[in-house]
């Protein structure tokens, strides 16, 4: 029997990620009951450790265990820094456990577009997104070629409102010289609020990780895949 109001655990490292993910689920998966788990020391402790050490991996696994063993039917980690822990978690539990941007990347790579851009406002987000796309390429794309363009606008991080943020991202995309881009992926949850404005400005589909994850989990848990690949 399909559960009509499944409990979804969102595990956050920063409060802003919680707000963005909650808004996305309210739009894309309103049937879900949301449970927010916040550990606001996760990022600071990872920086102090210069990455994820064994203690931090075990700490994240305990958060996931608490969620799953307390009844969560799906789990989303909204912090990309801890994404690698998901690979271990999937060997321990059978419920869907998603990395922050995994659903967005899978949607983009499995779709018809072969010229995809990734837009970011912080430098670390660019290689992180590129690495995840590369890792999923063979599995999701097969032998179909795809050209990935990356664009960075640090001005977008300090912009005032979605319209200004979108303009900075559009300028950064134009500066790459890439032609005929068919879709844009937002490399950070913090840019999701500008997705609609950027789509209107470029007349292109723009995807963000939180909305894509919400659609993915809705499709898996409610059995309705008609919404799984709808761009944000």
Per-residue confidence (pLDDT) for residue 79, from 0 to 100? 86
For helices 162-175 and 195-202, the axis angle rounded to 10 degrees is: 50
User: Which of helix, strand or coil describes residue 147?
Assistant: strand
Per-residue confidence (pLDDT) for residue 231, from 0 to 100? 44
Per-residue confidence (pLDDT) for residue 230, from 0 to 100? 43
3-state helix, strand, coil in the chain (%, to 5): 55, 15, 30
pTM here? 0.85
Handedness of CA 120, 122, 125, 126 (dihedral sign): positive
One digit per residue, pLDDT tens: the chain, 232 residues? 567 899 999 999 888 888 999 999 999 999 999 999 999 999 889 889 988 899 999 999 999 999 999 999 999 999 888 888 999 999 999 999 999 999 999 999 999 999 999 999 988 888 888 888 988 988 888 888 899 999 999 999 899 899 999 999 999 999 999 889 999 999 999 899 999 999 999 999 999 999 999 999 999 999 865 444 444 3
User: Which of helix, strand or coil describes residue 77?
Assistant: strand
What are 217's two structure tokens? Answer: 């989990």
The residues that bridge with 76 in the sheet, in sequence order, are: 10, 98
Per-residue confidence (pLDDT) for residue 197, from 0 to 100? 97
Dist. CA 155–CA 192, nearest whole Å: 16
Per-residue confidence (pLDDT) for residue 224, from 0 to 100? 65
Per-residue confidence (pLDDT) for residue 196, from 0 to 100? 95
């Amino acid at each position: 029997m399909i559960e009509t109001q499944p409990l979804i655990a969102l595990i956050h490292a920063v409060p802003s990620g919680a707000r963005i993910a909650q808004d996305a689920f309210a739009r894309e998966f309103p049937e879900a009951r949301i449970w927010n788990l916040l550990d606001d020391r996760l990022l600071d402790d990872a920086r102090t450790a210069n990455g994820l050490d064994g203690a931090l991996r075990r700490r994240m696994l305990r958060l996931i265990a608490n969620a799953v063993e307390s009844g969560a039917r799906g789990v989303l980690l909204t912090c990309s820094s801890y994404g690698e822990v998901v690979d271990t978690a999937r060997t321990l539990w059978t419920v869907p456990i998603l990395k922050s941007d995994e659903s967005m990347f899978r949607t983009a790579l499995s779709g018809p577009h072969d010229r995809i851009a990734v837009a970011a406002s912080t430098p670390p987000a660019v290689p992180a997104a590129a690495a995840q796309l590369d890792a999923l390429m063979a599995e999701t794309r097969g032998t179909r070629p795809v050209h990935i363009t990356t664009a960075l606008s640090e001005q977008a991080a300090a912009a005032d409102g979605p319209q200004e943020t979108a303009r900075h991202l559009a300028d950064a995309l134009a500066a790459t010289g890439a032609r005929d881009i068919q879709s844009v992926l937002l490399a950070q949850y913090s840019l999701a609020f500008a997705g609609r404005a950027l789509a209107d400005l470029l007349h292109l589909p723009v995807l963000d990780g939180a909305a894509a994850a919400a659609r993915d989990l809705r499709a898996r848990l409610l059995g309705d895949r008609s919404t799984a690949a709808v761009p944000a």
